[in-house]
A and B are shown apart, each in its own frame.
Chain A
Amino acid sequence: MGIRERLSGNEAAAIAMKQINPDVVAAFPITPSTEIPQYFSSFVSNGAVDTEFVAVESEHSAMSACIGAEAAGARAMTATSSNGLSLMWEMIYIASSLRLPIVMSLVNRAVSGPLNIHNDHSDAMGVRDSGWIQLFSESNQEAYDNLLMAHRIAEHKDVQLPLMVCQDGFITSHSIENIELLEDDKVKEFVGTYKPEHYLLNRKEPIAIGPLDLQGYLFEHKKAQAEAMRNAKKVIAEVSADFEKMTGRHYGFFEEYKMDDSEIVIVCMNSTAGTAKYAADRLREQGIKAGVLKVRMFRPFPVDEIAKALQGQKAVAVLDKADSVNGAGGALFEDVTSAMFVNGVTVPTVNYIYGIGGRDVPASDIETVYKDLVEVAKAGKAENPFRYLGIREK
Chain B
Amino acid sequence: MNDLIEIRWHGRGGQGAKTASLLLADAAFNTGKYIQGFPEYGPERMGAPITAYNRISSSPITIHSNIYEPDYVVVVDDTLLESVNVTAGLKKEGAIIINTTKDGEYLKNALKNYEGSIYAIDARKVSMEALGQYFPNTPMLAAIVKVSGIMSDEDFLADMIGSFKHKFAKKPEVIEGNMKALELALQEVKKVN
- What residues make up the interface of A, taking CB atoms closer than 8 Å to B? 6, 117-118, 138-139, 168, 170-172, 174-178, 271-272, 274-275, 277-278, 281, 360-364
B113 contact set on A, CB distance < 8 A: none
Q: How far is the CB of B141 from chain A (nearest CB, A)?
A: 15
A178 touches B1 (CB 8 A): no
The interface centre, meaning the residue of B1, B22, B38, B65 with most chain A CB atoms within 10 A of its CB, is: B65
Residue B63 at the chain A interface, CB threshold 8 Å: yes
CB-nearest residue of chain A to B32: A4
For B37, B60, B64, which residue has the most chain A Cβ atoms within 10 angstroms?
A: B64
- Contact residues, B1-56 vs A (CB, 8 A): 1, 22, 25-26, 29, 34-39, 41
Contact B37 A171 (CB under 8 A): no
**What is the chain A residue whose CB lies nearest that of B55?**
A177
Asked whether A361 lies within 8 Å of B38 as measured between CB atoms, the reply is no
> Which residues in B have some Cβ–Cβ distance to A below 8 Å?
1, 22, 25-26, 29, 34-39, 41, 60-66, 68
Q: A176-B35, A178-B29 are in contact. List 7 more A-B contacts (CB 8 A).
A: A6-B29, A168-B64, A174-B39, A175-B64, A178-B34, A274-B63, A363-B63
Structural contact, B64 and A274, CB atoms closer than 8 A: yes
A360 to B65, CA, bound (A): 6
Question: Are B64 and A171 within 8 A (Cβ)?
Answer: yes
Which of chain A's residues have a CB closer than 8 A to the CB of B65? 275, 360-363
Contact across chains for A174 and B64 when beta carbons are under 8 A apart = no
In contact, B68 and A364 (Cβ under 8 angstroms): yes
Residues of B within 8 A of A172 (CB): 64
Highest count of chain A CB atoms <10 Å: which of B1, B26, B41, B63: B63
Q: Which residue of chain B has its CB nearest to the CB of A168?
A: B64
B71 CB to nearest A CB, Å: 16
Residue of B nearest to A172 (CB): B64
Task: List chain B residues, Cβ under 8 A from A168.
Answer: 64
Chain A residues within 8 Å of B37, by CB: 175-176
Quote the shortest CB–CB distance from A234 to chain B (angstroms). 30
Once bound together, how far apart are the Cα atoms of A215 and B69, in whole Å?
Answer: 62
Give the contacting residue for B41; candidates A6, A138, A170, A277; CB below 8 A.
A170
Are A177 and B35 in contact, CB atoms less than 8 angstroms apart? yes
Q: A362, B29: Cβ atoms under 8 Å?
A: no
Contact A176/B38 with A6-B26, A6-B29, A281-B1 known, Cβ cut-off 8 Å = yes
CA A174 to CA B66, docked complex, whole Å? 13
Nearest residue in B to A270 (C-beta to C-beta)? B64
* Residue on B nearest A276 in the bound complex, by CB: B62
A-B pairs with beta carbons under 8 Å apart, 14 shown: A138-B62, A138-B64, A139-B62, A139-B64, A170-B41, A177-B36, A178-B60, A274-B62, A275-B63, A278-B62, A278-B63, A361-B64, A362-B65, A364-B68
**Interfacial chain B residues near A271, Cβ < 8 Å:** 64
B68 touches A272 (CB 8 A): no
Tell me which residues across on chain B come within 8 A of A170, comparing CB atoms: 38, 41
Task: Report the nearest B residue to A257, measured CB to CB.
Answer: B62
| Residues on the A chain within 8 Å of B68, using CB | 362, 364
Nearest to B25 among chain A residues (CB) is A176
How far, in angstroms, from A178 to B36 measured CA to CA in the complex?
A: 8
Chain A residue at smallest Cβ distance from B54: A176
- Kindly list chain A residues whose C-beta atoms are within 8 Å of the C-beta of B39: 174
Q: A117 near B41 (CB under 8 angstroms)?
A: yes
A335 vs B94: C-alpha distance in the bound complex, in angstroms?
A: 45
Asked if residues A174 and B38 are in contact (CB atoms below 8 Å), the reply is yes
CB distance from A366 to the nearest CB of B (A): 9
Residues of chain A lying within 8 A (CB to CB) of residue B38: 170-171, 174-176
- A363 / chain B contacts, CB cutoff of 8 Å: 63, 65
**Closest residue to A32 on the B side, CB-wise?**
B41
Q: A168–B38 Cα gap in the complex (Å)?
A: 13
B35 near A6 with CB under 8 A, answer yes
Q: Decide if B22 touches A176 in the complex (CB within 8 Å).
A: yes
List B contacts of A176 (CB < 8 A). 22, 25-26, 35-38
Q: How far is the CA of A27 from the CA of B25 in the complex (A)?
A: 30
CA distance A31 to B34 in the complex (A): 27
Q: Which residues of the other chain, A, contact B35 by a CB distance below 8 angstroms?
A: 6, 176-178
Residue of A nearest to B68 (CB): A362
- How many Å lie between the Cα of A118 and that of B25 in the bound state? 23
Tell me whether A362 and B66 are in contact (CB under 8 A). yes
Q: In the assembly, what is the distance between CA of A271 and CA of B64, in Å? A: 6
- Smallest Cβ distance from B46 to chain A, in angstroms? 19
B60 CB contacts on chain A under 8 angstroms: 178
Chain B nearest CB, measured from A85 CB (Å): 20
